[in-house]
Amino acid sequence: MNNNEMMKLAKKMQAEMEKREKKVQQENFTVEKQGIKVTFNGMRQLKEIKIDDALIDPEDPETLETMIQIAVNEVLEKIDAAYDAIEAEAKNFPF
């Protein structure tokens, strides 16, 4: 493979990676746990939180806060995994 072909391949791969990153950024990631539903987009912007009415206990806000924290962290892990998959694929490029 000559340098010109290699540059064309590199540009093609870069364009493909940018396309995949843009797709992840536009994708919604949702986790639903124990009556709490949290949705973020791929740019880690919070889009929605839904809480089952049965979970709202004015005497025990700490439990609800903890459950929201768990759901948020899990959805952010899903977003990170999507970006990690793109990076792992980039490492398989032939140069």
pLDDT tens, position by position, 53-71: 999 999 999 999 999 999 9
Please report, as a single letter, which amino acid is at residue 38.
V
- Which one-letter DSSP state was computed for residue 59? T
Residue 89 confidence (pLDDT) above 90: no
Q: How many CB atoms lie within 10 A of CB 77?
A: 13
- Beta strands of the chain (E only): which ranges? 28-33, 36-41, 46-51
**Superfamily, domain 3-91:** Nucleoid-associated protein YbaB-like domain (3.30.1310.10)
What's the pLDDT score for residue 94? 64
All structural domains of the chain with their residue ranges: 3-91
Indicate the pTM of the whole model: 0.75
Q: Could you tell me whether strands 28-33 and 36-41 are parallel, antiparallel, or unpaired per DSSP bridges?
A: antiparallel
